[in-house]
Amino acid sequence: MPYSPGGQRAVPADEDGLGPQDRVSAAPRAQIVLHAARGLAFAVWDDGKLVRSLSLSPDSGIIEDIGERLPFELPYWEGRQPVEPFPPFEDEVPYPLPFHPLGLGERALLEFFGFYVEGFSDEDDAPEPVVDIWDVELHGFRVTATRQDGATD
Protein backbone atom coordinates (compact mmCIF):
# COMPACT_ATOMS: atom_id res chain seq x y z
CA MET A 1 0.00 0.00 0.00
CA PRO A 2 1.99 3.04 -1.17
CA TYR A 3 1.58 6.33 0.67
CA SER A 4 2.10 9.31 -1.57
CA PRO A 5 1.38 12.73 -0.06
CA GLY A 6 -0.16 13.90 -3.33
CA GLY A 7 -2.85 11.22 -3.16
CA GLN A 8 -3.82 11.68 0.48
CA ARG A 9 -6.26 13.86 2.34
CA ALA A 10 -6.03 14.65 6.02
CA VAL A 11 -9.19 14.05 8.04
CA PRO A 12 -9.60 15.56 11.52
CA ALA A 13 -10.44 13.13 14.30
CA ASP A 14 -13.85 13.27 15.92
CA GLU A 15 -13.94 13.93 19.65
CA ASP A 16 -15.23 10.43 20.31
CA GLY A 17 -12.72 8.52 18.17
CA LEU A 18 -11.96 7.76 14.56
CA GLY A 19 -15.45 7.85 13.09
CA PRO A 20 -15.36 10.34 10.19
CA GLN A 21 -17.22 8.01 7.80
CA ASP A 22 -19.27 10.89 6.37
CA ARG A 23 -16.05 12.66 5.37
CA VAL A 24 -14.52 9.47 3.98
CA SER A 25 -17.54 8.70 1.82
CA ALA A 26 -17.24 12.19 0.28
CA ALA A 27 -13.95 11.10 -1.38
CA PRO A 28 -14.60 7.53 -2.52
CA ARG A 29 -11.62 7.27 -4.91
CA ALA A 30 -8.86 8.56 -2.68
CA GLN A 31 -6.55 7.41 0.03
CA ILE A 32 -7.44 9.22 3.23
CA VAL A 33 -5.17 9.25 6.26
CA LEU A 34 -6.21 10.36 9.73
CA HIS A 35 -3.67 11.06 12.49
CA ALA A 36 -4.37 12.25 16.02
CA ALA A 37 -1.98 12.55 18.93
CA ARG A 38 -4.08 12.13 22.07
CA GLY A 39 -2.28 8.97 22.97
CA LEU A 40 -2.13 7.78 19.38
CA ALA A 41 -4.77 7.27 16.72
CA PHE A 42 -4.40 6.84 13.00
CA ALA A 43 -6.48 5.31 10.26
CA VAL A 44 -6.11 4.72 6.53
CA TRP A 45 -8.90 4.34 4.01
CA ASP A 46 -8.31 3.26 0.42
CA ASP A 47 -11.15 4.03 -1.96
CA GLY A 48 -13.57 4.46 0.95
CA LYS A 49 -12.63 1.15 2.63
CA LEU A 50 -10.95 1.18 6.04
CA VAL A 51 -7.71 -0.80 5.72
CA ARG A 52 -5.93 0.13 8.98
CA SER A 53 -7.02 1.76 12.21
CA LEU A 54 -5.10 1.99 15.46
CA SER A 55 -6.11 3.84 18.59
CA LEU A 56 -4.32 3.44 21.92
CA SER A 57 -3.06 5.20 25.01
CA PRO A 58 -1.08 4.23 28.10
CA ASP A 59 -4.15 4.69 30.31
CA SER A 60 -6.69 2.89 28.11
CA GLY A 61 -4.45 0.37 26.37
CA ILE A 62 -5.43 -0.69 22.86
CA ILE A 63 -8.80 0.84 22.01
CA GLU A 64 -8.91 -0.21 18.36
CA ASP A 65 -6.56 -2.32 16.25
CA ILE A 66 -8.12 -3.06 12.86
CA GLY A 67 -6.37 -4.31 9.75
CA GLU A 68 -2.89 -5.53 9.00
CA ARG A 69 -0.08 -3.70 10.77
CA LEU A 70 1.95 -1.47 8.50
CA PRO A 71 5.68 -2.14 8.06
CA PHE A 72 6.78 0.94 10.02
CA GLU A 73 4.75 -0.28 13.04
CA LEU A 74 6.45 -3.66 13.37
CA PRO A 75 9.59 -2.61 15.33
CA TYR A 76 7.32 -0.99 17.91
CA TRP A 77 5.05 -4.03 18.33
CA GLU A 78 8.09 -6.34 18.42
CA GLY A 79 9.48 -4.44 21.42
CA ARG A 80 12.45 -2.87 19.61
CA GLN A 81 11.38 0.63 20.76
CA PRO A 82 10.66 0.01 24.47
CA VAL A 83 9.69 2.60 27.03
CA GLU A 84 12.55 3.24 29.40
CA PRO A 85 11.06 5.22 32.28
CA PHE A 86 13.20 7.85 33.91
CA PRO A 87 13.44 7.61 36.81
CA PRO A 88 12.79 3.84 36.69
CA PHE A 89 9.46 2.56 37.95
CA GLU A 90 9.82 1.31 41.50
CA ASP A 91 6.46 0.39 43.00
CA GLU A 92 4.34 1.04 39.92
CA VAL A 93 2.91 -1.46 37.51
CA PRO A 94 4.96 -2.00 34.34
CA TYR A 95 4.24 0.19 31.34
CA PRO A 96 1.13 -1.27 29.64
CA LEU A 97 2.37 -1.08 26.03
CA PRO A 98 5.55 -2.38 24.36
CA PHE A 99 6.33 1.20 23.17
CA HIS A 100 5.37 4.78 23.90
CA PRO A 101 2.45 5.96 21.73
CA LEU A 102 4.19 9.26 20.93
CA GLY A 103 7.15 7.40 19.42
CA LEU A 104 4.95 5.42 17.05
CA GLY A 105 2.91 8.56 16.42
CA GLU A 106 6.03 10.44 15.28
CA ARG A 107 6.96 7.56 12.98
CA ALA A 108 3.44 7.51 11.56
CA LEU A 109 3.66 11.26 10.82
CA LEU A 110 6.93 10.68 8.98
CA GLU A 111 5.62 7.72 6.99
CA PHE A 112 2.27 9.27 6.09
CA PHE A 113 3.11 12.94 5.64
CA GLY A 114 6.90 13.25 5.31
CA PHE A 115 7.61 15.11 8.57
CA TYR A 116 7.81 14.63 12.30
CA VAL A 117 7.64 17.05 15.20
CA GLU A 118 9.76 15.74 18.09
CA GLY A 119 12.42 13.77 16.22
CA PHE A 120 14.11 10.44 16.83
CA SER A 121 17.14 9.25 18.75
CA ASP A 122 20.39 8.31 17.05
CA GLU A 123 19.54 4.61 17.50
CA ASP A 124 16.37 4.87 15.40
CA ASP A 125 16.49 4.01 11.74
CA ALA A 126 14.18 6.89 10.80
CA PRO A 127 14.98 8.63 7.52
CA GLU A 128 15.29 12.38 7.30
CA PRO A 129 11.97 14.18 6.87
CA VAL A 130 10.91 15.15 3.38
CA VAL A 131 9.05 18.25 4.59
CA ASP A 132 10.57 20.89 6.85
CA ILE A 133 7.65 21.83 9.08
CA TRP A 134 9.09 25.30 9.67
CA ASP A 135 8.71 26.03 5.93
CA VAL A 136 4.98 25.28 5.94
CA GLU A 137 2.79 28.37 6.17
CA LEU A 138 -0.39 27.99 8.16
CA HIS A 139 -3.16 30.45 7.46
CA GLY A 140 -5.54 31.50 10.19
CA PHE A 141 -9.05 32.79 9.72
CA ARG A 142 -11.46 34.46 12.08
CA VAL A 143 -15.19 33.96 11.73
CA THR A 144 -17.28 36.86 12.91
CA ALA A 145 -20.99 37.42 13.13
CA THR A 146 -22.60 39.68 10.55
CA ARG A 147 -25.07 42.30 11.73
CA GLN A 148 -28.35 42.90 9.93
CA ASP A 149 -26.98 46.05 8.27
CA GLY A 150 -24.09 44.09 6.71
CA ALA A 151 -21.36 45.40 9.01
CA THR A 152 -19.25 42.93 10.95
CA ASP A 153 -18.65 42.92 14.68
**Cα dist. 128→10, 103, 106, 112, 122 in Å?**
21, 15, 12, 13, 12
Taking only the tens place, the pLDDT of each residue in 52-101 is 999 999 888 999 999 999 999 999 999 998 887 666 666 667 778 999 89
pLDDT class of 120 with cuts at 50, 70, 90: low
Taking only the tens place, the pLDDT of each residue in 95-108 is 789 998 988 999 99
Residue from 132, 74, 137, 82 nearest 108 by CA:
74
Residue from 103, 56, 102, 98 nearest 78 by CA:
98
